[in-house]
Amino acid sequence: RLLHNSMYFLTCFCCSHPTSCCSVAEIMSVLFFHTMKYRPDDPSNPSNDRFILSKGHAAPVLYAVWAETGYLKESELLNLRKVDSILEGHPVPKQQFVDVATGSLGQGLGAACGMAYTGKYFDKASYRVFCLLGDGEMSEGSVWEAMAFASYYQLDNLVAILDINRLGQSDPTPLQHHVEKYQRRCEAFGWHAVIVDGHSVEELCKVLNQPRHQPLAIIAKTIKGKGIPAAEDKMGWHGKPLPKDMAESVIKELQSRILSCNKRLYPSPPNEDASPVSLRNIRMPSAPSYKAGDKIATRKAYGIALAKLGRYNEHVVALDGDTKNSTFSELFKNEHPNRYVECYIAEQNMVSVAIGCAVRDRNVVFASTFATFFTRAYDQLRMAAISESNINLCGSHCGVSIGEDGPSQMGLEDLAMFRAIPTATVFYPSDGVSTEKAVELAANTKGLCFIRTSRPENSIIYNCNEDFHVGQAKVVYKTNDDHVTVVGAGVTLHEALAAAEQLKKDRINIRVIDPFTIKPLDSKTIIDNARATRGRIITVEDHYYEGGLGEAVCSAVVNETGFTVHRLAVSQVPRSGKPHELLRIFGIDRDAIAHAVRKVLSSSANAK
């Protein structure tokens, strides 16, 4: 019992969630010093068993474990949550022994599914994945999405340990200590579920040694605050450090037991059967093969590009949420079925699985669905940023241009959503060539990458040898005497080009810019070209006004004197209709652009 006693000591002494840590001390002891196979001096070893602390507020017990292994100095534990320490209040990957950030509850099991799927089907290695969940987060639907995924794919290398300590933060949990109900629920989702006394080292060792034929759920009945008499199984202690006198009393009692035994346990080494992986230089084998005048929807160009990338790069994998015949990720599935993961209509879990598949740089991951459905997974996306995850998301069916399906299917908030994520790169390609280039660039760009694709077919506008870079815009139409700079993307770029032809008949010339990436935005190209049009800029986007292309351009030119930005965007919740009707109704088609140009020029003339 030395190890769990020492963890009591460490967590009681220095943490703000001592009761949550104490309920899992025996579980952590058994996992890390009996069951898991790993090299404590090399936490990132690809053959190590994996561990995710989904109940991330219990981070101090995780840090105590790694101090027991010798990887952390015990003195470092006393710096917990200090600004100059790596030991933050919740686990983050700046700690080498942490694969994904946790703390927003209900997400750890989904990431564990991605890691287990990678281990079983991609790496074909023997490492196992262990995820420790709190009973409070079992109310999150994302947990049950992950449960269904693991059962469907028979992830027998995955173990979920449920810490059923009865008490949440402000109330008892809904099922409290009715562990049989948890068992029946897990079994209903296709897991082998076993109830144990979570404070019995013997029971934990026995169940973790059982043969595996399906995902295993260990339902551990525990006491919150175990080992702290005044706090055991009592409300009001969640997230609170012990008062000094109480902590000293508990520590004194535990020290008497710790010092009476100097035996030390060491984890078993892993089977070194996870092959090294290199994700450098994931490139297309050739330039795009489109011809001038061809028409293709960027959503289809995405599928073609992804299949092509996968053809020459064996570590590219694709996920989708039952929209593969709309996002065209089915082209990847048809060509590379062993590297395609169907996540069905569970977008939260799909993003978590993507995060799990990408950890330790095992795969280049692309996940796709309608752009609007990523809103459902926004918490998972922001946690992906905190996890320093490298994942690529493709959102199709953006804007009113999808037509008859109506507003529930129209991605009109997605640019704002992804622009707000600090690690995100936002691609908005406008033809087949730029879409293929976006896919290749995303595969080699750190952080989250979002590729926004459209439903309508549009003409190829770029030469197949055109060079593209993140943060580099393209001037796609210009003369020596342009009056207004128009910035459009996707379908609105083509509308802007059509407006340019209309206006030319009246001897009004406009300069048309394709930003290619909305984040980072090529401010220099926009500013330099807008100067040539006396600071007159019009932005046009198939997106709501808030947070999209127009606001990005406004931010880029805010410090420029003499610049004006006139914005065209979708101003209200749209409706069903034909694409061209909706572009006209919401004032983002060629006629609206031409009218806006004339209005801007008229205002400039009147100002003089």
Q: Which domains does the chain have, with CATH numbers?
A: 6-257 (3.40.50.970), 294-460 (3.40.50.970), 474-606 (3.40.50.920)
- 371 vs 415: CA distance, rounded Å: 9
Instruction: Give the rounded distance of the alpha carbon of 93 from its chain centre.
Output: 14
The per-residue pLDDT of the chain, averaged, comes to 94
Is 347 in the active site? Answer: yes
pLDDT higher than 60, residue 552: yes
Q: Are 157 and 119 in contact (CB under 8 A)?
A: yes
Please, how many CA atoms are within 13 Å of residue 196, restricted to the half-sphere of its CB? Answer: 25
The three-point CA angle 225-227-231 to 5° equals: 40
Query: Mean per-residue pLDDT for 215-229?
Result: 94
Tens of pLDDT along 586-605? 999 999 999 999 999 998 77
Q: How high is the pLDDT of residue 395?
A: 98
- Average pLDDT of span 267-273: 96
pLDDT at 261: 58
Calpha distance 4→559 (Å, rounded): 59
Q: Taking a C-beta distance cutoff of 8 angstroms, is the pair 431, 460 a contact?
A: yes
- Point out the catalytic residue in the list 68, 203, 347, 413: 347
Mean pLDDT of 251-261: 68
By CB atoms closer than 10 A (0-12, 13-18, 19+), residue 214 is middle
pLDDT surpassing 90 at residue 260: no
45 to each of 51, 233, 545, how far by Cα in Å? 13, 38, 47
pLDDT of 235 over the 50 cut: yes
Residue 188 scores a pLDDT above 60: yes
Q: Using one digit for the tens of pLDDT, what is the confidence trace for 150-161? A: 999 999 999 999
- Of all residues in the chain, the percent with pLDDT exceeding 90 is 87
> What would the two tokens of residue 133 be?
């969940």
Residue 5 has pLDDT above 50, yes or no: no
Which pLDDT value is given to residue 2? 40
Instruction: Tell whether the model's pLDDT for residue 458 goes beyond 80.
Output: yes
Supply the pLDDT for residue 486: 98
What amino acid occupies position 495? E
Q: List alpha helices for 15-99, DSSP H.
A: 18-22, 25-30, 59-69, 74-77
Structure tokens at 595: 């009218």
Q: What is the mean pLDDT of residues 306-324?
A: 97
CB 196 within 8 A of CB 26: no
pLDDT value for 104 = 97
DSSP 398: B
CA dist 21 and 159 (Å) reads 19
Q: How would residue 450 be classed by pLDDT, with cut points 50, 70 and 90?
A: very high
Nearest to 89 by CA among 135, 57, 129: 57
Of 26-40, 194-208, 240-254, the one with minimum mean pLDDT is: 240-254
User: What DSSP character marks residue 407?
Assistant: G
pLDDT tens column, 361-399: 999 999 999 999 999 999 999 999 999 999 999 999 999
For 18-56, what is each residue's pLDDT tens digit? 899 999 999 999 999 999 999 999 999 999 999 999 999
pLDDT of residue 259: 55
Give the per-residue pLDDT at 254.
73
The yes-or-no verdict on residue 291 having pLDDT over 50 is yes
Any idea of the CA torsion for 117, 118, 119, 120, to the nearest 10 degrees?
Answer: 50
Q: Pick from 218, 174, 229: which is nearest to 196 by CA?
A: 218
Residue whose C-alpha is closest to residue 476's, from 507, 498, 448:
498
pLDDT of residue 257: 65
Q: Render pLDDT for 478-531 as a digit per residue (tens, 0 to 9).
A: 999 999 999 999 999 999 999 999 999 999 999 999 999 999 999 999 999 999
What band does 228 get if pLDDT is binned at 50, 70 and 90? confident
Residues paired with 203 in a beta bridge: none
